[in-house]
Amino acid sequence: MDRTYPDGRKIHLSLLANPSHLECVNPVVIGKARAKQFYCGDTEEDVRNVVPILLHGDAAFAGQGVVYETMQMAGVDDFNVGGTIHVIVNNQIGYTTNPINARSTPYATDLGKAFNAPIFHCNGDDPIAVSRALETAVEWYVMSSERECTLFLRCALMLQLLTMIFSVLYIGEMSGELTW
Ligand SMILES: Cc1ncc(C[n+]2csc(CCOP(=O)(O)OP(=O)(O)O)c2C)c(N)n1
Ligand SMILES: [Mg+2]
C-alpha cells in the first residue's frame, strides 16, 4: 500500500502473512527489511528509511523461541536492521490458556527487558492512550541509536485486528512526519 501526504511525503507499507506456526514470519520480515536496506544502497539513511514492525499475540511473544532468536540477532552486523518496533496485542489469553498457565514472568513483554528495549504499556481500548504510546515509541525509535522497542496494547479480542491495523498505519504516518 502506498500513501502520499499533502506535503509530498510518500510511505510504502507492505504486509507479510504469518502461517499457522506462530511468530515464524519474524525473521522473514527482518530479512526483507535488511534486503531492502541493502539494495537501496545501505547508507545510514537507507537503513533508517525501512522500519520493520512486528505484530505479536501475548502468549506467542512470551512463548515462542523465534521471538528471542530474532531479537537476539538485532545487534549483530549483517542482520542489524537498525531496530524493530514490536506491537503486542494482549487479550490475556493464549488460545484457551490463561497467562498464569502460560509464562513465568508477570508481563508478556518481559523478554524485551533482556535487550533493554523500552516497553510502553497502554490500554488498547483507549485510542488516545494508544496514539500517545505509538507516538512515544516512534520518537524513541527515531531518536535512539538502539532502536529496538516494544509496545504493549492491552485490549479485547474484538478490537485486536482494528488496533493492529491502526498501529501500523499510525507508525507509518508518524515515522514520515519526524525528521530522519
Ligand atoms: C508455533 C506454534 N505453537 C503453537 C500453536 C498453537 N496455537 C494456536 S493459537 C495459540 C495461542 C496464541 O495466543 P496469542 O499469541 O496470545 O494470540 P491470540 O490468539 O490471543 O491473538 C497457540 C498456542 C501454533 N499455532 N504455532
Ligand atoms: Mg492472546
In this structure, are residues 92 and 61 in contact, taking their beta carbons and an 8 Å threshold?
no
User: Between 111 and 168, where is the model more confident?
Assistant: 111
Digit-coded pLDDT (tens) for 148-158: 656 655 554 44
Pairwise CA distance, residues 40 & 32, whole Å: 12
Q: State yes or no: pLDDT of 120 exceeds 80.
A: yes
Whole-number Cα distances in Å, 142 to 22, 57, 59, 145, 178: 29, 25, 28, 8, 8
Distance 129 CA to ligand 1 centre (A): 26
Q: Which residues surround ligand 2, an ion (CB under 5 A)?
A: 57-58, 91, 93
Q: Among the atoms of ligand 1, which is closest to the Cα of residue 64?
A: 1
In this structure, are residues 172 and 180 in contact, taking their beta carbons and an 8 Å threshold?
no
Q: State yes or no: pLDDT of 139 exceeds 60.
A: yes
Whether ligand 1 lies within 6 angstroms of the CB of 164 is answered as: no
Whether ligand 1 lies within 6 angstroms of the CB of 4 is answered as: no
Q: Among the atoms of ligand 1, which is closest to the Cα of residue 20?
A: 25
CATH number of 24-177: 3.40.50.970
Whether ligand 1 lies within 6 angstroms of the CB of 21 is answered as: yes
Digit-coded pLDDT (tens) for 70-100: 999 988 989 989 888 888 888 889 999 999 9
Distance 125 CA to ligand 1 centre (A): 22
Whether ligand 1 lies within 6 angstroms of the CB of 55 is answered as: no
The structure's pTM equals 0.86
For 2-93, where are the alpha helices, taking DSSP H only? 26-40, 44-49, 58-63, 65-72
10-12 and 2-4 beta bridge pairing: antiparallel
**What stretch of H or E contains 56?**
strand 53-57
Domain ranges of the chain: 24-177
Which ligand approaches the C-alpha of residue 95 most closely?
Answer: 1
Whole-number Cα distances in Å, 79 to 29, 59, 68, 76: 12, 26, 14, 6
Pairwise CA distance, residues 118 & 139, whole Å: 12
In this structure, are residues 152 and 109 in contact, taking their beta carbons and an 8 Å threshold?
yes
C-alpha dihedral over 39, 40, 46, 52, to 10 degrees? -60
Phi, then psi, of 122 in degrees rounded to 5: -150, 165
Whether ligand 1 lies within 6 angstroms of the CB of 93 is answered as: yes
